[in-house]
Every structure is written in C-alpha cells, then in structure tokens.
Amino acid sequence: MTDTAASSPIATEPLAAAASDPNLLGWMQGSPPPPERQVRFDDGGMYTFPKLRWAYSNIRRLMPTTSVSRGNGPVSVLPRADRDDIDEVMFQPIGRTDSMSWAQSLDANYTDGIVVLHRGCIVHERYFGALAAHRQHIAWSVTKSFFGTIAASLVVEGRLDPQASVSTYVPELAASGIGNATLRQVLDMTTSLRYSEDYTDPEAEIWQHGRAGGILSRPADDAGPASFYEYLATLRQAGPHGLTFAYKTVNTDVLGWVLRRITGVSLSDLVHQRIWSQLGAEQDGDLMVDSTGTEFAGGGFNCCLRDLARFGEMVRNDGFYNGRRIVPTAALADIRGGADPAHFAHAGYVTLPGASYRDMWWVLHNEHGAYCARGIHGQGIYIDPKAEMVIARFASHHIAGNMGIDPTTLPGYHALAKHLMAG
Amino acid sequence: MTDTAASSPIATEPLAAAASDPNLLGWMQGSPPPPERQVRFDDGGMYTFPKLRWAYSNIRRLMPTTSVSRGNGPVSVLPRADRDDIDEVMFQPIGRTDSMSWAQSLDANYTDGIVVLHRGCIVHERYFGALAAHRQHIAWSVTKSFFGTIAASLVVEGRLDPQASVSTYVPELAASGIGNATLRQVLDMTTSLRYSEDYTDPEAEIWQHGRAGGILSRPADDAGPASFYEYLATLRQAGPHGLTFAYKTVNTDVLGWVLRRITGVSLSDLVHQRIWSQLGAEQDGDLMVDSTGTEFAGGGFNCCLRDLARFGEMVRNDGFYNGRRIVPTAALADIRGGADPAHFAHAGYVTLPGASYRDMWWVLHNEHGAYCARGIHGQGIYIDPKAEMVIARFASHHIAGNMGIDPTTLPGYHALAKHLMAG
C-alpha cells in the first residue's frame, strides 16, 4: 500500500450510514438547493452514492411515473405489538468470526426503513434518513416478485400457459432471442441471453436497457432503442434456454408485456386491481414509465414500507389478507416450493447456498423454508413461514448488489426468526 | 373563400367534444400503443389538440412530479343532493343571439369533469373522456389561486409584508426586472415585465419559461435558463410597476419563491400542510417539478375534481371547512373585495367587463359578487356567494385561452346560480 491519498482507506471508504444521512448532507435543501446540493436525473447523480440515499425516497420527483391506486376502500388494520428486545438480537455475519447486533446491522446495511411482522403484528418498525412511514421508496427488483406472483395466479387460473413460448403471446418478440423461451423459463430466469447485469461494467447491456426505458438519461444522439419494448426486441440468445438460472431483469419486462397482452390492462392497473386495492394499502404506489407509457416491470415500483409488509403477510398467509382471498393458494405453493437448486448453483451466489429462483422469488430452501423478494441496494421482503415472520426493508446501500449486503442481513433475519419463535 | 382543402371549414374546424374523446381516439391504447396513438412529452405532442385531451388527465406519466399528500386523516364528507333539472337550464352565450342549454355547454367547452355544489352539497357531477372521479387532472393557472390564498393568509398572519419588495425576500432577484416590485403588485399582477404569454406567438417568453422549467422539452443545445429560478432572474422590467393589470404567470413563480423563503418548506409541503391535509381531501395531488426540484407555482397542480370543489367550498365558507378553520376570514375578505377595476380594464378582457384581479383570483364584481380561479383550456373554480354555489371544472378545450371559452361558461354559471336560488 502506498501513502498517496488516492489509495488511502480514508479517501476511498464510502461514508457510513450516519455520515451519509441525506438530511445531514442537505440534499435538495434550500430554495432552490445550490448546485452542489442538487440530486438530478439528467447528470446521473441520482444513482451515485451518497446522493442515491435521497433519490430512492424521491423517485417520482426525478422521472415520470404512473399511480398504482389504493382505490378508495378503508386501510386494513396492521396490529401493533412492538417489542423492545429486538435491537439486541445477536448474530454472526457470513464470513466473519465476530458477532453483530440487530441494531448494528441496520447501520451496516444503510437501512432506510424496516418493518418486522410476527404473526401479522408489527413488532419492530424503524425509519432513517429521507424515508418516513407515509413515503414511497423504490423497491427495485422486489417489483419482479409482484409480477411473478400475478403470473403464478394467472397460471392457476388457466389464463397463462407456462409451457407456451413468449412469441405465442407477444409475436413482436418472435425474432428476438427470447421469443422461443417458455414462460416457465422466463418466470424462473433460465433463459439464456446475451445480457449482462454487471453494474461495474460500463459496457453491460443493462445500461442500454436503462437508457431505452428512460431510467437513465438518454443523450439526444443515442441511436439505440428508445423504449423498453424496442430494447426487448433486440435481445439475442446466448445458448439453449432452460439449463441454468441466470438473473436478467429483461425477463420480467418480457413477462410484463405478456401480462398486458393476456389481461388487456396496464401493469399499474393490474397491480391496482389484483393486489393494491385488495390489500387495503395505506398509500398509492408509483410505477416508473418510459416515454411510451410502458411501466418498468423489472424494477419500477415504489411504495410505502407498511404496504410492502402487507403484501408479504398476504403471501405468507397463503394469499388470504384483509378478510379476503387475494392470490390463489396453489400459486403461492408453487412459489414456496422453489425450483431446482442445481440450476441455481451454476450462478455462483456464495451467500445463497442451496437456493433456487421460482416465479420471480428467491427460495432459500433453509430449515425454516424462507423465501424472499430482493432488490438492488438492499430492498427486500423476507418471509419465514416456520417463524410466522415477515420482514420488509428499504435501503440505500452503496453497493449495487446483494452479495455485499447478504452477510449482514440474512443471518440476522434468521436469528431474529429464532428469537421470535422462542417467545 | 376558396375551394382548396386548406381553407375549407371542414379541414380546419377542430374536432368536436364527442369526436375528440380520448377513449374514442384510442390514445395510449395497446401494449404498447402504436406510434400514431402515443401521447408523448419529448415531441411536444401532449400539448397539441386533440392529444391534450388525454394528457391533461395523465400529467404525472409524462414528466416528473411531487406529491401533495392528503395526509392520513379521514376523507371529509361531501353530501349529495343530485338534481335532474340542471341539464335543461338555458342561457344566452356572450355575443350570440340564440340560447344554449347547460348540457350543450359541457360539450361546447370540451368539459372533462364538472362538480356543482349548492350550499355545500353536490347537486351535479359529470365526467367525460379520460377523467374519472378518483383521477387527477391538471389545474393549470387555477394553481395560482392556491398560492394567492396562502399568501393572503400569511399577510393576515403578519408573516408577509405586501408593501415589501420582492428582493427583500429573494435577494437573487434584486437585479432582475421584478426585484423592485412589491408583493402586492406581484399578488395582483400589476408588475410591468417584458414577458409575453401569447400562446399563438412562437417568440413569446412563455416558451422559454416552459423550457427552463421542464414543462416543455428542452433541446440539449438550448443555452437558455435551465430551471424556473434561473429564468426568473432574467426577467426585464417594461415600465413602472403598479399601474395596470397584466397577466403574467411568472408573478406566481416569483411568489412561490417568496413563500418558500418565508416558510422554509417546499411548495408541495406548504399546500399539504395548510390546505390539502386540512380539507380532508380524498386523493393526493401532484405538482410538477423542474430539474432542480422546484415546483411550478404558476400552473403545475393536479388534483381530483371533488377535492378542487372542497377547496372552493372552503373559500366560499370564509375559510371554514371540515369542522375547522383553514384560512383566516380576513384573507378571504381581501380576495373577495377585489382590486381596482380601472387597472384591469386596460388589459382588454372583453368577456370580463368591470372585473379585477386580487391575490391571484379573478373577481367579477357582478350582481352576485362572484369570483373565480381560472386556468388555460377551461379549468376553473367559480364561487357565487349570493347563490351559495361553487362550480369546479376541468376541461381540455382546443383553445389555449379563456376568451374563447367564457362566452359559453360564464353566462351559464350565472344562469345556473339563479336557477338554484329559485329553489
């Protein structure tokens, strides 16, 4: 190691959670905020740490969105049974020999908000930084699990054939590399596509996908695809579909297109009709849209944390919530059962040994039968059926990936589950 | 008149209301909508007729917005006493010798929705085209009356000095042409500025204002101001302030800047705190924001029609609504009293003889003491104190101005007021 500032740990270590608090840093404070305190869409600053800690609680101020209406029914009751013994729950992070407390893990993971339900009651709820109970936060790839759940419902209802090919429903994709994949392969992400989601690689296809969909600023001279669906039509196949799991966001955007064709409604109306208005959500959700009005199925949903917890609790309860059946039990059994861990193992997720991916959910196949919805920078729903526990979490970690976040979340969730089971 | 198609009335007459219904024309229908059915921001299509009939009910899908939260209190009750005798109310449009029915006027004015309250009860409510009861519609310059009402409240509370100059509150505007204007001149739009709001003139300053604020698409090579406040700093004075009324949207954006400085909160939070959460609104509102997060005070508010009617009813009721005082009575007395009609007369509004403009409200000084909030393309709140009537209306008229709309609205409103007074 040299003595230069550039290689000094002090210069390169990202700010810790408390030091990167958006309120402390003053993002978007002032009338108007001075240039050095602005978080903007057009310069890409909103995706850089620590600005992203403000942006992820303010997506609709930065780009066009559509509303996922809660409707006008009553808000469903989320009973409270707050516990004061959770902060001290201890666990051993993956790959470390020391232990960490639950409270320490919230800082370590740049948590913006967390809600823990036990047997349907809130036992723990915390907000930090730019988030508040009534505010929406971007869910990123947790969005995928909403559309996977709706798709699994349509399979049970006989309206979606998992063995049919994508091009059966969306002829526009027949010539693309995903047109010949089955819906089952799309739902379980076993398609084989030339599409890199490595956020550290500036040449990765995810960037062109983002520019096409308006998630990233698109230069006026960009000759590439100009909408999500134009991008999907350019997808190229890499090898045979169906052999191994490979996480690629475009699968969910393809699924979204199929869902629109089957149901005839927009994706925002679909979530509104089938989930949001049924749950008794307390706030509307926001869904990112591209320049043609197409919603970002792969990651564009924003909602408040308690509503995310309500969704998780409905899934844990076999589809029953707010006094009504919302999702068929068989659809949730299919999710919980997972897929073939052998397909998953090839992907090399060191923090998820023995896991699988089914219907856009991550299934851990652990001793508690836990499964999760997971989003970049630490978003998540964690469902532990044996412990009757649901955790909903929003975060703005500086790492754009869960491999760096799992070590201090997953063992903590499991330790908390055992703690709650002990009474 | 020649026989060429270009000059034929058939070719140039805009589509009538029924023929321009957005559902009939299929705007944004399809998954995805084909290019010829898309309503877009980037090509300016959203502001062209008949596409604007879809766009004005879908603003947040087309550009960034922030939420004006209704909070989490109960929705206030809007009692119903529907009447079936309103469609047949007859009146004589300004400048015509024939008469028109209320029902005919809704078509003639490209009404998207209308709610009539009599003594606080809904007696008439209609929706057309892309609008529905629970959906937000752009209010355009009706937005101004929200901020004028808040400013009038702050005057009564002693927090805003109407005789102080703009630069007292916003030093950044000291060198601009509006820095030496008083807040009273800003509130009553008697500032004298080189700023044209003639929408038929492509060189009018309103276009640069809109590009700066992100209301219009801004080319990458646009070297002009890049935010609302950068634009305001370029304003030039035309003559002495305070002599005549001259309607210029920038006055309200300047007022918005002053309000942020006085209160220390964003304009969306200001409307949330002082009005929206107090009214018991049934839906959140949306407020357009520019690339620096600054809200469009001059015209960016979107809300549902019943909530707009609630606001009007609160104003009619001397500031009392939903079981509480919301705005000081003295502030509303100041609005109702109007300003000097002699200042107004110079502006030449042929459909508003004897009127004045006070605190961002249009005061008719007619036999019923009526006053209004007015927005381009036909948005409006019409308050008739003598008839105890409030009309809230959203529209998407092909004419970008009220002079072409007033002839078939104002006499209709007055006729309806007399009809309701008759019992």
Q: What is the pLDDT of residue B3?
A: 39
Is pLDDT above 80 for B1?
no
Contact A33 B293 (CB under 8 A): yes
- What span, in angstroms and rounded, lies between the C-alpha atoms of A94 and A395? 19
DSSP state of A286: E
Residue-range domains of chain A with CATH: 117-421 (3.40.710.10)
On chain A, the residues whose CB falls within 8 A of the CB of B39 are 293
pLDDT digits (tens, 9 = 90+) for B75-110: 999 999 999 999 999 999 999 999 999 999 999 999
Q: What's the whole-number mean pLDDT along residues A251-269?
A: 98
Mutation target among A28, A31, A41 for the B interface, most CBs of B within 10 A: A31
The partner residue sitting opposite A293, judged by closest CB among B33, B63, B219, is B33
Is A274 in CB contact (< 8 Å) with chain B? no
**What is d(CA A340, CA A354) in angstroms, rounded to the nearest whole number?**
9
**How many CB atoms within 10 Å of residue A168?**
16
What residues in B contact A63, CB-CB < 8 Å? 64
Check CB contact of B282 with chain A, cutoff 8 Å.
yes
Q: How many Å apart are CA A152 and CA A167, to the nearest integer? A: 19
Contact B72 A260 (CB under 8 A): no
Which of A185, A301, A194 has the alpha carbon at shortest distance from A251?
A185
User: Nearest Cβ partner of A60 from B31, B64, B291?
Assistant: B64
Residues B31, A293: C-beta atoms closer than 8 Å: no
Query: Is A141 noted as a catalytic residue in this protein?
Result: yes
Q: Which residues contact B254 (CB under 8 A, 6 or more apart)?
A: B166, B170, B173, B178, B186, B232
Contact A391, A380 (CB under 8 A): yes
Question: Is the Cβ of A61 closer than 8 Å to some Cβ of chain B?
Answer: yes
pLDDT in tens, B149-186: 999 999 999 999 999 999 999 999 999 999 999 999 99
Q: Searching chain A, which residue's CA lies closest to the CA of residue B39?
A: A292
Burial of A88 (0-12, 13-18, 19+ CB in 10 A): exposed
User: Are the Cβ atoms of B72 and A282 closer than 8 angstroms?
Assistant: yes
For residue B42, the distance in angstroms to the closest alpha carbon of chain A comes to 8
Average pLDDT, chain A: 95
pLDDT tens digits along A295-351: 999 999 999 999 999 999 999 999 999 999 999 999 999 999 999 999 999 999 999
**Which two three-digit tokens encode residue B123?**
């007696």
Contact B65 A62 (CB under 8 A): no
Q: Which residues lie below 8 Å from residue B371, measured CB to CB, with a gap of 6+?
A: B335, B336, B338, B361, B362, B363, B364, B383
Instruction: Name the region of B44 (left: φ>0; alpha: ψ -120 to 50; beta: rest).
Output: left
Strands (E), B88-220: 90-91, 100-101, 111-118, 121-127, 137-138
Task: Please say if the pLDDT value at position B403 is more than 90.
Answer: no
Measuring CA to CA, which residue among B407, B414, B392, B349 is closest to residue B125? B392
Q: Does B197 touch chain A (CB under 8 A)?
A: no
Distance of alpha carbon B380 from alpha carbon A336, whole angstroms: 53
Closest by alpha carbon to A191, among A166, A154, A172?
A166
Q: Which two tokens stand for residue B78?
A: 């809007």
> Could you tell me if A127 lies within 8 Å of chain B, comparing CB atoms?
no
Is A60 close to B67, i.e. CB distance below 8 A? yes
pLDDT tens for A223-250 read 999 999 999 999 999 999 999 999 999 9
pLDDT tier for residue A203 given thresholds of 50, 70 and 90: confident
Residue A2 clears pLDDT 70, i.e. is over it: no
What is the structure's pLDDT at A7?
41
Q: For A203-212, what is the mean pLDDT?
A: 93
Q: Is B221 exposed, middle or buried (0-12, 13-18, 19+ CB in 10 A)?
A: exposed
Catalytic residue chosen out of the listed positions A76, A105, A141, A176: A141
Q: Quote the DSSP letter at residue A15.
A: P
**Closest chain B residue to A221, measured at CA:** B220
What b/e sequence results for B315-353 when a residue is b if at least 16 CB atoms lie within 10 Å of its CB, and e otherwise?
Answer: bbbbbebbeeebbbeebbebbbebbebebbbeeebebbe
Contact yes or no for A63 and B65 at CB 8 A: no
| C-alpha to C-alpha distance for B393 and B399, rounded to whole angstroms | 16
- Residues of B with catalytic roles: 141
The larger pLDDT score, comparing residue B337 to residue B404, is at: B337
Q: A291 to chain B: which residues are within 8 Å by CB? A: 40-42
The reply to whether ipTM tops 0.85 is: yes
Measured between beta carbons, the chain B residues lying within 8 angstroms of A38 are 292-293
pLDDT at A202: 85
pLDDT band at A291; cut points 50, 70, 90:
very high
Helix (H) or strand (E) holding B23: helix B22-25
> C-alpha distances in angstroms, A209 versus A212, A230, A402, B33, B177?
5, 9, 21, 19, 46
Strand partners, B90: B101
**pLDDT digits 0-9 by tens, B26-62:** 999 999 999 999 999 999 999 999 999 999 999 999 9
- CA-atom Rg of chain A in angstroms: 21
Q: How confident is the model at residue B279 (pLDDT cuts 50, 70, 90)?
A: very high
- The answer to whether the Cβ–Cβ distance between A293 and B67 falls below 8 Å is no
DSSP string of A313-361? HHHHTTTEETTEE-S-HHHHHHHHH---HHHHHTT--TTSTT-EEETTE
Residue A4 has pLDDT above 60, yes or no: no
Window 39-58 of A, Cβ < 8 Å to B:
39-42, 58
Q: Which residues make Cβ contacts (< 8 Å) with residue A206, sequence separation at least 6? A: A195, A196, A197, A198, A199, A249
Q: In this complex, is the C-beta atom of A132 within 8 Å of any C-beta atom belonging to chain B?
A: no
From the number of C-beta atoms within 10 Å of its C-beta (0-12, 13-18, 19+), residue B84 rates as exposed
Q: What proportion of chain A, given as a percentage, has pLDDT over 70?
A: 97
Across the interface, of A28, A227, A260, the residue whose CB is closest to B293 is: A28
Is A36 near chain B, with CB under 8 Å?
no
Would the CB atoms of B32 and A229 count as touching at under 8 Å? yes
* Rg of chain B in Å (alpha carbons): 21
Residues of chain B contacting residue A71, judged by C-beta atoms under 8 Å apart: 134
- At residue B315, the 3 state secondary structure works out as helix
pLDDT digits (tens, 9 = 90+) for A362-384: 999 999 999 999 999 999 999 99
DSSP A358-390: ETTEEE---TT--EEEEEGGGEEEEEETTTTEE
What does DSSP assign to residue A36?
A: G
Q: Is the pLDDT of residue A5 over 60?
A: no
* Chain A residues in contact with B41 (beta carbon < 8 A): 64, 291
Q: Which residues of A touch B219 (CB under 8 A)?
A: 220
Q: Which pairs count as long-range contacts for B223-232, CB under 8 Å and 24+ apart, including other chains? A: B226/B291, B227/A32, B227/B290, B227/B291, B227/B292, B227/B294, B228/B253, B228/B290, B228/B292, B228/B294, B228/B296, B229/A32, B229/B172, B229/B257, B229/B292, B229/B294, B232/B173, B232/B176, B232/B178, B232/B257
Distance from CA of B75 to the nearest CA of A (A): 10
Chain A interface includes B277 (CB < 8 A): no
